[in-house]
Structure formats: C-alpha cells, structure tokens
Amino acid sequence: MNDALNLLRRAVQLDPAYAAAHAFLGLYLVQRVVQFISPEPAKDAAEALASAERAIDLAPRDPEVLENAGLVYFNTGQYQNAVAALTRAVDIAPFNLVAWGYLACAHVWSGDDNKAHEGLRILERLLKTAADHPSVPYWHYFKSEGCIRLQRHADACEAAEQSVALQPHFFLSRIAFANALGGVGSLAQGRAEIERVLTINPSITPDAYEGAVRLLSHSPEHAVRHMAGLRAIGWMR
C-alpha cells in the first residue's frame, strides 16, 4: 500500500489535473486508516479528503472518481457527501456495481433505519444478480453490518460467515462475525474469531475499533447496536 501511495503521489505531481490519480490517492490513504495500519490516522484522513475533493473538482461526472470519493467521504464520517457522490456515480453508470455496494454500505452504517433497510435491499439485489462479482465477499460483509444494525443477529452470522469463507484474511468481516456470534449467544466462538482477527491484524484495538464505529454510525444508539455483541464476548468494555 505504501508503494502504491508513493506512485500515486508521483502521478499527481507529474500531472496535477489527473483526477483518477487524486481519487485513488484518497482511497488508498483512507484504506490505510480503515485497515488500522496508518501511522498518523488523522493526517491520512485529512489528506484523503482533500484528494477526493480535488478529484471531484477536476472530474465531477467521472463514475470512478465519484465511487472512490464516495468511499473516502463515508470513511471520514461524511455520510451525506458520500451518498451524494455515490448516487451520482450510479446515476451516470447504473452498472457500476462497486459503487452500488458502497452506497449500500453507507446506508446500513450511517443512515436512519429506513435507509438501512434500503441498503440491505440493494445488497440483496447485488448478491442475487451478480453472484460471481469480485465484490461478493465485501457485499456479504456490508450485509452483516446492516443486519447487526437492525438487530438481526442470526442473519448477520450467516452473512459474515459467508464473507469469511470467501475472504479469510478480511479481518473486518471476522469482527462482524464475532459481533454477530455474541449477539446470538455463541460467546466462545465469538472470542475465537477475535483471536483470529488479532492474528491477522495485531494493530487493531478495541478502542480504535470503537472510535471507527462511532464515526461511521452517526448515532450513539446505532453505535451501541454495532458493538453489543463485541461487548457480550468481552472484547469491548
């Protein structure tokens, strides 16, 4: 990832008007924060946001720019801006399924309950109509978070387990699986999943994860729902 960031910084230095390079620079910077591997999360998030906004200024109707900027907005806690960018992306390019998935993710994490249901409907449609798409493991993960949000823990378990089976090293889906297991009372299995998470990514901590949940959920009540199972298994206070 650091090599990619170096190349992207070189790209925008060589061509400051290269919108896609700015958008991907923002995406990779924010991914470093999301993956809990950033040496300076606040600095990376700020640079990611600036890069995304520069990309949109340069190419306001480029679906790929809007898709990447939307994910940056979402992961920096700007739900409305994320929805606006991602909605424009799918309006311009209706078969951009990656952008549809990100829009659903934003809704299930940050929207009101009606938007959370809408996000789940989008994910169900994606999973039904594009079962061989490379994003399927992530769509299952987004679905699991939506089900946790709506306190459908058994459904969350099923979705997260499918994500883990398809992408065993995607530790965020394992956290969702642990959370859902806690929600259905499978505490020992949930604790075992957290142990696997820490083997994959030892840099993650309960406090860091809680901070991310509170940023994304935009509501103390929703944050509690997103962490209840993790508290039940004893990983969070």
Q: Which residue type occupies 7?
A: L
Q: What is the pTM of this model?
A: 0.95
Taking the C-alpha atoms of residue 15 and residue 7, their distance in angstroms, rounded to an integer, is 12
**φ and ψ at 234, to 5 degrees?**
90, 10
pLDDT along the chain (237 residues), means of 10: 95 98 98 95 97 98 97 97 98 98 97 96 98 98 97 97 97 98 98 97 95 94 94 95
| pLDDT the model gives residue 60 | 97
Taking the C-alpha atoms of residue 52 and residue 7, their distance in angstroms, rounded to an integer, is 17
| pLDDT the model gives residue 237 | 85
**How big is the CA angle at 119 (ends 229 and 32), to the nearest 5 degrees?**
65
| pLDDT the model gives residue 204 | 95
| pLDDT the model gives residue 38 | 95
Q: Which CATH number fits domain 113-237: 3.40.50.300, 1.10.3720.10, 1.25.40.10, 3.90.1150.10?
A: 1.25.40.10
| pLDDT the model gives residue 171 | 97
Q: Which of 112, 107, 113, 111 is nearest to 126 (CA)?
A: 107
Q: Which of 118, 68, 116 is nearest to 96 (CA)?
A: 68
The residues, ordered by sequence, that sit 6+ positions from 233 with a Cβ below 8 Å of its Cβ are: 178, 181, 182, 187, 190, 191, 194
> In the chain, where does the domain assigned CATH 1.25.40.10 lie?
1-94, 113-237
**φ and ψ at 203, to 5 degrees?**
-80, -15
CATH architecture of the domain 1-94 equals Alpha Horseshoe (1.25)
Residue 59 and residue 16 in contact, taking contact as beta carbons nearer than 8 Å? no
Taking the C-alpha atoms of residue 50 and residue 210, their distance in angstroms, rounded to an integer, is 25
Longest dimension (CA), the chain: 55
